[in-house]
Amino acid sequence: MYSNGFSLVGVLYPVFFVVVFALAVTLGVLLIRTLLWVIRALSAYTRERELRLDLLLAGDDPAAPPTPGGSAGPVV
């Protein structure tokens, strides 16, 4: 016999898809935020390395070990 009344599957099926869609959107947002954070962190790290290299080449790097005699090298 066919029943035209309340169906639990008829209610749970759309609710399931709404929950899956909300979960997919949440995971997508978290992935995008994580990617943006990683890109920002890598840019800062790369910029710091560039500045350290520039300071090292200029002889003004405070992290560089001191040279004997107090000069960065021979003056030509």
Tell me the per-residue pLDDT of 16-37, one tens digit each, with 9 for 90 and over.
Answer: 999 999 999 999 999 999 999 9
Q: How far apart are CA 71 and CA 1, in angstroms?
A: 99
Helical spans, DSSP H, in 1-76: 8-58
Band of residue 40 on the pLDDT scale cut at 50, 70, 90 = very high
| Residue from 44, 48, 64 nearest 56 by CA | 64
Band of residue 3 on the pLDDT scale cut at 50, 70, 90 = low
Mean local confidence (pLDDT), 58-67: 67
Query: How much is the pTM?
Result: 0.58
Q: 49: buried, middle or exposed (CB in 10 Å: 19+, 13-18, 0-12)?
A: exposed
